[in-house]
Amino acid sequence: MNRRQFLWLMLAVLLLGGAGLALFWQDLTAYRDSGAKIGARLLPEFKISDVAKMRLQDATQEVTLVAKDRVWRVEQRGGYPADFAESAG
């Protein structure tokens, strides 16, 4: 590799690095302007007490939780109370 090729390569690296850095700062600025905070509630006005039924699903399984008598129950298990302390890991 001669000197001219090396200089072109360095110029390309600087341009790509500068563009990447500009995009990073633009994304960071958009995040800061959104007012989002780490650990903050995703939906601050949402009241879980207003939810009567919830369906959770992944690629192979599904479960429906229903709130009855202030207790979450598993609909597929005949209304058996859900145990959130014992979750599948």
27, 34 contact by CB (below 8 A): no
Domain ranges for the chain, please list them: 1-38, 48-81
Pair 65, 52: CB distance under 8 Å: no
pTM of the model: 0.47
Concatenate the DSSP letters of all residues of 65-79 into one string: EEEETTEEEEGGGTS
As given in the structure block, the two tokens for residue 40 are: 């903050």
Q: Given this model, what pLDDT does residue 1 score?
A: 81
Could you read off the pLDDT tens digit of each residue along the chain, which spans 89 residues?
Answer: 899 999 999 999 999 999 999 999 888 887 777 777 778 787 888 888 888 999 999 999 999 999 988 888 999 988 888 877 765 55
Are the CB atoms for 33 and 25 separated by under 8 Å? Answer: no
Q: What per-residue confidence (pLDDT) applies to 86?
A: 63
Q: 5 is written with which tokens? A: 């090729």
